[in-house]
Structure 1
Amino acid sequence: MRLLPGITSPRDLDRLSPTQLDQLAGEVRSFLVHEVSRTGGHLGPNLGVVELTIALHRVFDSPRDTVVFDTGHQAYVHKLLTGRQDFSGLRQRGGLSGYPSRAESDHDVVENSHASASLSWADGIAKARMLKGEDDRYVVAVIGDGALTGGMAWEALNNIATAQDCRLVVVVNDNGRSYAPTIGGMAHHLATLRTTRGYERFLEWGKTTLQRGGTPGRLAYDTLHGMKKGLKDIVAPQGLFEDLGLKYVGPVDGHDVVALEHALARAKAFGGPVIVHALTRKGNGFTAAEADDVDRFHAVGVIDPETGQSLAAPGEGTAWTSLFADEMVQVGRRREDVVALTAAMLVPVGLDRFAAEHPERVVDVGIAEQHAVTSAAGMAFAGLHPVVAVYATFLNRAIDQVVMDVAMHRAGVTLVLDRAGVTGPDGSSHHGAWDMALLGAVPGLRLAAPRDGRRLRELLGEALDVEDAPTVLRFPKGVVPADVDAIERVGGVDVLARGEGSDVLVVAVGSMVGLGLDVGERLAAQGIDATVVDPRWALPVAPALVDLARGHRLVVTVEDGVRAGGVGSQVAQALADAEVVVPVHVVGLPARFLPHGSQGQVLASVGLTGQDVARDVAARVAGLDAAPVAGEPVPGHRG
């Protein structure tokens, strides 16, 4: 009899025997492989936490006890055990989120997937519970997939150690990997813990020897305690945690439910902050994933559940990331001063190809975007030109460093933002919607958004030639469209289509050029003249763009970032500063968190389609035509 269908809440686990728990773990793995192979999603991380999640829900009482996952992509098993077993729409519009979601369940608390934040959340929740006298409620933070390499996690640990009465358990899900093998000093420390027999085992040997009696036993015991300090440093590197004042339990086999329950119960009984170190294998139980040396099937598309081979139709064209990767290789061959940095995203942002040719010129800092940006400022000061490549959503974490360490010091650092704009199935925490609005306020910063492959190469080269200010290159997720050549260039602004009259100037930013041209054609079909331009360098606003606007009745800006503070806002401000009285209609994303779905679905849901925008613009032009001439009475008002 299958057990998984009967698990509708964590308390259903209480009645299962150890043998049944093993059976359940096997059923969960089969379910994950079967379901995620049909929809795509984060497979490897979840296969690695099956027994760990079962043990957590056996020992702790969610949602009364709070479980926080970091990163959130390892929460699929948690969803299954808390009654969410319909994975048919995983990461699709209307289906389950790929991350914890408060809208789905009371068992979910922290929704976003920006790593290294769980310990701060747990610290705050646990302290609040103590202040409210709720000292019988526990908080568990499950931190893994490289999240412990982030500086924020260590800021939290520093404070957690001071709260000795808090009912807080930190489970380190140590699989040695994020997307790829985890790097850095913390990773080396955990590796030492994984490969050491441990101080407790040494003590057990000493006690056994003493029990044998006689002089040999006494000598062994005395020698043991005489060497105690040195031995502890050698065979018990958990001292790093204990020196912070944190109780350490482990390492424990993360695929043994009974051993995990024992360790977690010990931690729960301690009554204060405890680290439980669980050793897991990413992709455990799926042969194809276990054999993968790159990322253990971290995230997959549609695959064969038996072989792990992709079943997705071959894509047409080149991905933006791949094009950037190839161009960086060419840049590296031409310029020895160019170095590359990333934050645990070497392969996803395409820097692995650059690293293959120039391994000494690539730095992966782990999940530490702040450090990456400031380290890049230091490299620029020392005469190099760093390229910091991250997903657009993760740059949010390093805005202070961009402002104070790079821009204020006029450092020649180039930031490359992959997956800018709407990303699709990963949802609200992964949409790259805020970068243009946030970066628009940075003094001296220049931001480019290529519309096609040729412009990516051109603009990357131009960015790397800037040595006295930060530059940004942003591009979306997906396939690079066909090149769109300009009919002319005016002061650095590319004119892509020019109407015969001067009704509307459409300013299309980067990946929105296709939509802008579609809008122009739709307006022309309605007898409205539209000129469509691509500013190439979207920030700061080019003087030539102000001059072009001066000759039109309406300016429409189209961007795939939030409208509040974005490029359209900057254009409106530039026109006002130049005393150009032309209305500006800003089209972009609303300042709200957009749910998961395909790129097209999300864009359509906020009116970013050619039909919607053209209809709106046509109505605004009609409004201009109906406006009274200066000096004439306004209809409906006294003259």
Structure 2
Amino acid sequence: MSCFYLDLLKIKDPSFMKQLDIKELEALAADIRAFLITSTSKSGGHIGPNLGVVELTIALHYTFNSPKDKFIWDVGHQSYVHKILTGRANQFDTLRKHGGLDGFPKRKESIHDVFETGHSSTSLSAACGMVIARDIKKEDFYVIPIIGDGALTGGMAFEALNHIGDMGKDMIVILNDNDMSIAPNVGALHNVLGKLRTSDKFQHTKTNIDKLIRKIPTAGEKLADTAEKTKDSLKHLLVNGTFFEELGFMYLGPIDGHNLEDILTNLEIAKRARGPVILHVVTKKGKGYQPAELDSRGTWHGTGPYKVETGSFIKSVKTAPSWSSVISNELMRLATADERIVAITPAMPVGSKLEKFAKAFPERFFDVGIAEQHATTMAAGLATQGMKPFLAIYSTFLQRAYDQLVHDVCRQKLNVVIGIDRAGLVGADGETHQGIFDISFLNSIPNMIITMPKDEVEARQLMVTAFDYDAGPFAIRYPRGNGLGVELTESNTLIPIGEWETIIQPIDAVIVTFGPTIQLALKAADQLETEGYRVGVINARFIKPLDETILHQMIKQKIPILIVEESLLKGGFGASVLEFIETNNYTDVAIHRIGLPDEFISHGSVPVILESYGISEAGIELKIKEMLAQSEKLRAKRL
């Protein structure tokens, strides 16, 4: 048996695999697993999903010819094995680091990455487009989307299945069924797949019935032929439905996704079939590494660094609670006193720290699966009946429910509280996950309140305010990671809608900001004070509506105003302030904005990214000095 471990770094493309026998492919699988466990223990990453698709990825590259044949990895966090086999193992020490290897498929990285993913349920639609283009251009290649059972619950996937089945064009869909998305799957489709997963008895029973019938004298063969024609009825009886076949797909499986011979055999059958095929492959998330295999909560879906020997995570010492837990704990406190409060999450109960809420109030907790659109309109429906829904959703996933926010929530002025988790930069997950668009796309919607707390105490106060507010939707943004560690005292303090907080009174200049960048502003102001500059700091905790009283005061002081935001400048908070200035016919206002440019922000550590765009203590100090110097020059000219 060959051993490939030292050669993984030398792989240039998958063509070398064509010469390997089954034992060598199995050895390659073992070595890739060892490599993944070792490398991700240092860098962190999506270890669970990738350990589950080692054999499947090897079989795909062995059977097909990438990049001529197109692999589309739904979500894309399971593409590490694909990256190794396409010549990127030697870059794994840079995985998810600034300027390094992306954790998701990236077209600029490799010709083998034919479509970029990061959000779920998109692969089937993309594959549909590629198949149509192939046939119009009369080209000859296979299109193979690989979609998980969790991603299959997304509405977009159903839309694509409906279209693909109706078109009848050649396509091979791999259903990677590991009984998990990020957290355990929920829903009726999950139950259907569960029945298929355990339907081995169908094949066994059908074979026995066939043998039994053929033993009947004289009429046996004829009856057997009749039985073959009624196989669908038999499936309905024993498997309880032919879901995919009714949609127009040839269904193969379920098969063991860790048995290379089975996968290779069925891929060859799929290649010879005409029309759309679904190959149902059952895999084990975290396969080959016991801590990840035993995970039932989704902890090993994506991790930071860990110790290989024990599976314990390597974390910096932090005493402060996470922002998500601060919000969820306050939600529990409020829900204890108000039975109208319910919590909704689209497949993120662990990340949003709602597990305790689910246990305490099971009848008032709803994990709807990867279905952000449904979650949002469901919240709207609850609100029409006097309930108080809390929709916990990551900023990047809120994008997927924009129409529902506009049409179903904001237009009707319904009282939905939206907890926008992971707002701002999230770091290593990169472009598809940075929470930098929500201010821009929410700002333009009428009836929407947008807030962000500076610390844990203010987070709790905004939660109280949100559930007291009865004039429409109320969004609370909070970042990834831990809070400041401020003491949490019992408080039911309401913050007047639209009221900002003056932390330091401005004299020479003023910094206006919100959320985590408040701390950068305070440090910059302290440093500037040692140099003789008296710079104020305003906590703009209400991003919408603006505090017009404070804005009028600042502008009439005729001092430089610096706006800092960890979000897009285009359409962002600072843009709203500029609109205010124009609307009120103010002229000669010294104002500048520091924020993120009109581009997708790549992966890397949050401090490094912030520093690169001037969103830092030093960047703020430098800009304030530049503005003050410019003001002095203008004042000197007037004199």
- TM-score bucket of the superposed structures, by smaller chain: over 0.9
1:556 aligns with 2:559: no
Task: Report the equivalent of 2:411.
Answer: 408
Q: Which amino acid aligns with 2:273?
A: F
State how 1:8-27 maps to structure 2 within 5 Å: 8-27=12-31
TM superposition shift of 1:518: 2.3
Partner SS for 1:82? helix
TM superposition shift of 1:222: 7.6
Distance 1:226 1:575 in 2: 76
TM-score when normalising by structure 1: 0.93
Distance 2:131 2:393 in 1: 32
TM superposition shift of 1:428: 1.1
TM superposition shift of 1:527: 3.6
Task: Report the equivalent of 1:28.
Answer: 32
TM superposition shift of 1:353: 1.2
Q: Which amino acid aligns with 2:129?
A: G
Distance 1:614 1:442 in 2: 34
* Structure 1 residues 484 and 611, CA gap change in structure 2 (3 angstroms): farther
* Structure 1 residues 601 and 484, CA gap change in structure 2 (3 angstroms): farther
Q: Which amino acid aligns with 2:157?
A: A
State how 1:482-501 maps to structure 2 within 5 Å: 482-483=485-486, 492-499=499-506, 501=507
Match of 2:539 among 528, 534, 538: 534
Task: Report the equivalent of 1:516.
Answer: 521
Task: Report the equivalent of 2:605.
Answer: 598
Distance 2:38 2:14 in 1: 22
Task: Report the equivalent of 1:636.
Answer: none
Task: Report the equivalent of 2:53.
Answer: 49
Any unmatched runs of 5+ in structure 1?
633-639
Which stretch of the first structure deviates more once superposed, 169-178 or 202-211?
Answer: 202-211
Partner SS for 1:88? helix
Output the aligned Cα RMSD.
2.4
Kindly indicate whether the alpha-carbon contact (under 8 Å) linking 2:590 and 2:627 is maintained by their aligned counterparts in 1: no
Kindly indicate whether the alpha-carbon contact (under 8 Å) linking 1:416 and 1:473 is maintained by their aligned counterparts in 2: yes
TM superposition shift of 1:601: 0.6
TM superposition shift of 1:311: 2.9
Q: Which amino acid aligns with 1:42?
A: H
1:188 aligns with 2:191: yes
Kindly indicate whether the alpha-carbon contact (under 8 Å) linking 2:73 and 2:117 is maintained by their aligned counterparts in 1: no
TM superposition shift of 1:268: 1.7
Task: Report the equivalent of 1:637.
Answer: none
Task: Report the equivalent of 1:584.
Answer: 591
* Structure 1 residues 189 and 491, CA gap change in structure 2 (3 angstroms): closer
Which stretch of the first structure deviates more once superposed, 233-242 or 509-518?
Answer: 233-242
Q: Which amino acid aligns with 1:611?
A: A
1:278 aligns with 2:281: yes
Kindly indicate whether the alpha-carbon contact (under 8 Å) linking 2:149 and 2:190 is maintained by their aligned counterparts in 1: no
Task: Report the equivalent of 1:89.
Answer: 94
Kindly indicate whether the alpha-carbon contact (under 8 Å) linking 2:74 and 2:117 is maintained by their aligned counterparts in 1: no
1:373 aligns with 2:376: yes
Partner SS for 2:378? helix
Distance 2:554 2:388 in 1: 35
Distance 1:555 1:628 in 2: 16
Match of 1:455 among 430, 433, 458: 458
Kindly indicate whether the alpha-carbon contact (under 8 Å) linking 1:139 and 1:168 is maintained by their aligned counterparts in 2: yes
Kindly indicate whether the alpha-carbon contact (under 8 Å) linking 2:210 and 2:227 is maintained by their aligned counterparts in 1: no
* Structure 1 residues 168 and 554, CA gap change in structure 2 (3 angstroms): same
Q: Which amino acid aligns with 1:535?
A: A
TM superposition shift of 1:284: 1.1
Distance 2:370 2:192 in 1: 16
Task: Report the equivalent of 2:491.
Answer: none
Identity %: 37
1:382 aligns with 2:382: no
Q: Which amino acid aligns with 2:4?
A: L
Match of 1:262 among 254, 265, 283: 265
Which stretch of the first structure deviates more once superposed, 314-323 or 387-396?
Answer: 314-323
* Structure 1 residues 601 and 219, CA gap change in structure 2 (3 angstroms): same
Which stretch of the first structure deviates more once superposed, 6-15 or 230-239?
Answer: 230-239
Kindly indicate whether the alpha-carbon contact (under 8 Å) linking 1:93 and 1:596 is maintained by their aligned counterparts in 2: yes
1:72 aligns with 2:76: yes
Which stretch of the first structure deviates more once superposed, 200-209 or 397-406?
Answer: 200-209
Deviation by residue 1:61-81 (Cα, 9 ceiling, x = unmatched): 111111110121111111111
Match of 1:608 among 612, 615, 622: 615
1:481 aligns with 2:488: no
Distance 2:240 2:496 in 1: 62
Partner SS for 1:162? helix
Task: Report the equivalent of 2:492.
Answer: none
TM superposition shift of 1:346: 0.7
Match of 1:427 among 427, 430, 443: 430
Kindly indicate whether the alpha-carbon contact (under 8 Å) linking 1:45 and 1:145 is maintained by their aligned counterparts in 2: no
Deviation by residue 1:315-362 (Cα, 9 ceiling, x = unmatched): 232211121222122122111111011111011011111111001111
Distance 2:497 2:103 in 1: 45
Distance 2:311 2:511 in 1: 46
TM superposition shift of 1:484: 10
Task: Report the equivalent of 1:245.
Answer: 248
Match of 1:572 among 573, 578, 591: 578
Partner SS for 1:73? coil
1:132 aligns with 2:117: no
TM superposition shift of 1:629: 7.7
Match of 2:323 among 320, 325, 335: 320
Kindly indicate whether the alpha-carbon contact (under 8 Å) linking 1:145 and 1:179 is maintained by their aligned counterparts in 2: no
Distance 2:443 2:524 in 1: 26
TM superposition shift of 1:123: 0.7
Distance 2:43 2:214 in 1: 59
Task: Report the equivalent of 2:624.
Answer: 617
TM superposition shift of 1:215: 5.8
Kindly indicate whether the alpha-carbon contact (under 8 Å) linking 2:498 and 2:542 is maintained by their aligned counterparts in 1: no
TM superposition shift of 1:451: 0.6
State how 1:224-243 maps to structure 2 within 5 Å: 224=227, 228-237=231-240, 239-243=242-246
TM superposition shift of 1:491: 7.4
Any unmatched runs of 5+ in structure 2?
489-494
Q: Which amino acid aligns with 1:261?
A: L
Task: Report the equivalent of 1:221.
Answer: 224
Partner SS for 1:308? coil
Q: Which amino acid aligns with 2:288?
A: G
Partner SS for 1:173? strand
* Structure 1 residues 243 and 145, CA gap change in structure 2 (3 angstroms): closer
Partner SS for 1:316? coil
Distance 2:101 2:228 in 1: 55
1:470 aligns with 2:489: no
Distance 1:552 1:363 in 2: 51
Kindly indicate whether the alpha-carbon contact (under 8 Å) linking 1:209 and 1:220 is maintained by their aligned counterparts in 2: no
Partner SS for 2:432? coil
TM superposition shift of 1:109: 2.4
Distance 1:230 1:138 in 2: 32
TM superposition shift of 1:8: 3.1
Kindly indicate whether the alpha-carbon contact (under 8 Å) linking 1:67 and 1:142 is maintained by their aligned counterparts in 2: yes
Kindly indicate whether the alpha-carbon contact (under 8 Å) linking 1:505 and 1:552 is maintained by their aligned counterparts in 2: no
Q: Which amino acid aligns with 1:553?
A: I
Distance 1:575 1:538 in 2: 16
Partner SS for 1:428? helix
Q: Which amino acid aligns with 1:130?
A: D
Kindly indicate whether the alpha-carbon contact (under 8 Å) linking 1:445 and 1:470 is maintained by their aligned counterparts in 2: yes
TM superposition shift of 1:468: 2.5
